[in-house]
Structure 1
Amino acid sequence: MQRTLYLIERGNRINLHADGPSLLITSRNKAARRIPVNAIDKVVVIGNIRIDADSITLCADNNIPLLFISQGNTEKAFILPYNHKLPRHYKEQRIIIQSEDTQRRYRKWIQTRKTMMQMQILREIFKKFRLPDEIGEGNYQFIINKIGQRYATWSMIKDIVENFIRAIILGRILNAGLDPHFGIINRRVNFGLLLDLSLIFEPEADLQTIKFFQSNSVKIENNELSESNIKSIIDRFESRRESIFQLAETVIDEFFEIMKDLRK
């Protein structure tokens, strides 16, 4: 499976250059690394990394999204491959907005999927307790908010994890030939479909954020993440990456099933 390339600036002057069909990473006091682009599914940049234009073009040519995250706050940006043509399934996506009934079905599917993951996450958090089959959106948010209130940097950590997850979903959307901007819940919004589908995965971000703060090694000073903090977030995310990837594939398949049924 292709892997995520993480580039983290911690005063080490990292530079990224295109080198034929590879990306060449150079940094102070370290040997250069060359990584073939066909081994990368996305690039995550945290901090001030110097990237030449040829590297961005090489990623675009290979359908590799780049995610930029600013240190110390929640600023982030995606760079996507440019394509002047409509995505292959754009017309099929438009079918969903043609009636209130189809939009309601879509929204119900999103909420049902999200509810399933909420219960799965709560059972993992409260392993010693017997939970009901359903708990409700309001009750779930109340529980998570109570936990989050304990930590001043909760939102910052969760935002990073959510964007890692979105990068996986975005890659699956592009690979499937869907328009990432054509959302229903988030309509007329950049990355509308990505934001819609990301709702399903929000409980996963909650879980990883909780696990981060439960770690004995966590120590955040002045709202600034240390190198060990960032490594902890990445290691935890990568340990669950395969399951997130597979769920994203399942969600995309279910989305196609909805569009297929609506064409009948």
Structure 2
Amino acid sequence: MKRTLYLIENGKSFTTVSRDGPSVWIKTRQDSGRRVPVRFIDKVVIIGNVRIDVYSLILFTENQIPVLFINNRSEEKAFILPYNHRLNNHYKSQRAMAQSMDSVKRYKKWIKTKRMFEQLKTLRKLFKGFNFPDEIGEGNYQFIIKKLKTSEPRWSIVKDIVENFIRGVIMGRLIRAGLDPHYGIIHRRVNYGLLLDLSMIFAPAIDLQSIQFFQSKENVIVQDGRLADRGIKTIIDRFESNRLELVQKVEQTIDELFEIMKDIRK
């Protein structure tokens, strides 16, 4: 199975990345380097000051691999996506769905319902043994989660990094499915509209991993607001341990979206 390639600033020792045929060569001052074939890479996450040549970025985009840039404070983030001057494969179906009032209502209800199910799963994991009802209102969920959040800006620093990781998974699957990530319905006429729509479903997973981070012993944040290397590693380890389940959920969600679009064409 393909994996996420994490390229992280390593203190005073810069990480450098260069293209080596169908692979990238990754090197720091402490090691002689290692080669990573692009066929094993699902997406790329670059955190902090990493030196990477343009040829490596082109190699990623040529192979439909999204690249996410964030810093240790999560203040800035950017995507590099594969270039495609043609319409996405399912653009017409997405447009037809957005133009149908019935489909829009069904879509919004679908998003809301799936989000609620994920909220309940998150609460049941945080409060094991507590008997939650089969439905929960948005306000009730937010009230409970607010009690578990740590103080700002520490919460936002961690939450934004986890959010970017999860959005990176969703973006990669949207690209592979031939969907236009900008054609949203809830987030209409907004860049990355569809990505933001589907991210609403997985927002509870972001809450869960962020809360678990602060409940761990590795929740180290430097005083200037920069997340320490050990803290970043903890976030990555937790995210990767749940990544397969997340990918399966995202794939299932995209399959359900195709079912909604298919019903329009009938």
Contact 1:65/1:167 (CA < 8 Å) preserved in 2? yes
User: Which segments of 5 or more consecutive residues in structure 2 lack a partner in the other structure?
Assistant: none
1:107 equivalent in structure 2: 108
Q: 1:247 aligns with which of 246, 249, 255?
A: 249
1:60-85 Cα offsets, whole Å, 9 max, x none, are 11000000001223310000000111
Q: 1:92 Cα deviation (Å)?
A: 0.4
Cα displacement (A) at 1:146: 2.0
User: Bigger shift: 137-146 or 199-208?
Assistant: 137-146
Deviation per CA, 1:64-110: give whole Å up to 9, x if none: 00000012233100000001110110000001121322111111101
In 1, Cα distance between equivalents of 2:247 and 2:83: 24
Equivalent runs, 1:156-235 vs 2, <5 Å: 156-222=157-223, 223-235=225-237
Which stretch shifts more, 220-229 or 59-68?
A: 220-229
> 2-side partners of 1:124 and 1:151: how far apart?
24
RMSD: 1.1
- Tell me which moved more, 43-52 or 141-150: 141-150
TM-score w.r.t. length of structure 2: 0.97
State the one-letter code of the partner of 2:7: L
- 1:256 counterpart letter in structure 2: F
Q: Given the two structures, how large is their TM-score scaled by the length of structure 1? A: 0.97
Deviation at 1:258, TM superposition (A): 0.2
Distance 1:257 1:113 in 2: 15
| 3-state SS in 2 of match to 1:251 | helix
Offset of residue 149 of structure 1: 4.5
Letter in 2 for 1:263: R
For these two proteins, the number of residue pairs brought into alignment is 264
User: Any idea what SS the aligned residue of 2:135 has?
Assistant: coil
Code of the aligned partner of 1:184? I
* Kept after mapping to 2: 8 A contact 1:158/1:206: yes
Identity %: 58
Distance in 2 separating the partners of 1:152 and 1:14:
28
The residue type paired with residue 78 of structure 1 is F
Q: Structure 1 regions of 5+ residues with no counterpart?
A: none
